């Protein structure tokens, strides 16, 4: 049975490839979630007025690549101590968030975050939010699989 996972961590262009290349991943879709506007556009999300974050929705086979491994990949792609965006991408639309789709995902994400905090790997507190998933809106087609369309590495 397939499941969905949703992660936000800066520009969604950079979030696709690390997941897309894993076994058991059926699809990774760039989009927007966490806001209050239905069917937002890229320009609306960038305006910081919709409340959405750029995110990826991953359809995966948990028998092949379990959710806890997806969370491990996620932590490697983000700076979990930066609530104001990620790397050069600044603003709330680039904030780091794990959006859970089930109580099991919430528990796995919370434990993983606590383990990361306890590891002492970061001097600053872990600020990545863990929030219940709401509607996910697929981004415009030119955002999909961007790393495959681009000739230079991101």
Domain ranges of the chain: 8-149
Class of domain 8-149 as given by CATH: alpha beta
Examine the residue annotation and report whether 14 is marked as an active-site residue of this protein.
no
- Per-residue pLDDT at 9: 92
Specify the pLDDT at position 28.
95
How many distinct helices (H) and strands (E) make up the chain?
5, 8
Pairing, β 89-90 against β 85-86 = antiparallel
Is the CB of residue 54 less than 8 Å from the CB of residue 98? no
Residues (pLDDT < 50) of the chain are none
Give the three-state DSSP class for 32.
Answer: strand
- Residue whose token pair is 């872990």: 126
What pTM does this model have?
A: 0.90
CA distance 9 to 66: 20
pLDDT for the residue 130: 98
The two three-digit tokens of residue 48, written as one number: 């910081």
DSSP 8-state class, residue 5: E
Q: In angstroms, rounded to a whole number, what is the distance separating the alpha carbons of residues 78 and 69? A: 15
Phi, psi of 110, rounded to the nearest 5 degrees = -60, -45
Which entry of 5, 11, 14, 58 is annotated as an active-site residue?
11
């Amino acid at each position: 049975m397939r499941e969905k996972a949703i992660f936000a961590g800066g520009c969604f262009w950079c979030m696709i490839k690390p997941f897309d290349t894993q076994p058991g991943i059926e699809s990774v879709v760039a989009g927007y979630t966490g806001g209050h506007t239905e069917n937002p556009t890229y320009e609306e999300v960038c305006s910081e007025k919709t409340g959405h974050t750029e995110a990826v929705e991953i359809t995966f086979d948990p028998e092949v690549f379990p959710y806890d491994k997806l969370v491990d990949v996620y932590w490697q792609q983000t700076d979990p101590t930066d609530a104001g965006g990620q790397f050069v991408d600044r603003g709330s639309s680039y904030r780091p968030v794990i959006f859970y789709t089930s109580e099991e995902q919430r528990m796995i994400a919370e434990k993983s975050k606590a383990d990361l905090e306890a590891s002492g790997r970061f001097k600053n507190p872990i600020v990545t939010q863990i929030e219940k998933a709401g509607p996910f809106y697929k981004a415009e087609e030119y955002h999909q699989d961007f790393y495959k369309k681009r000739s230079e590495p991101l």
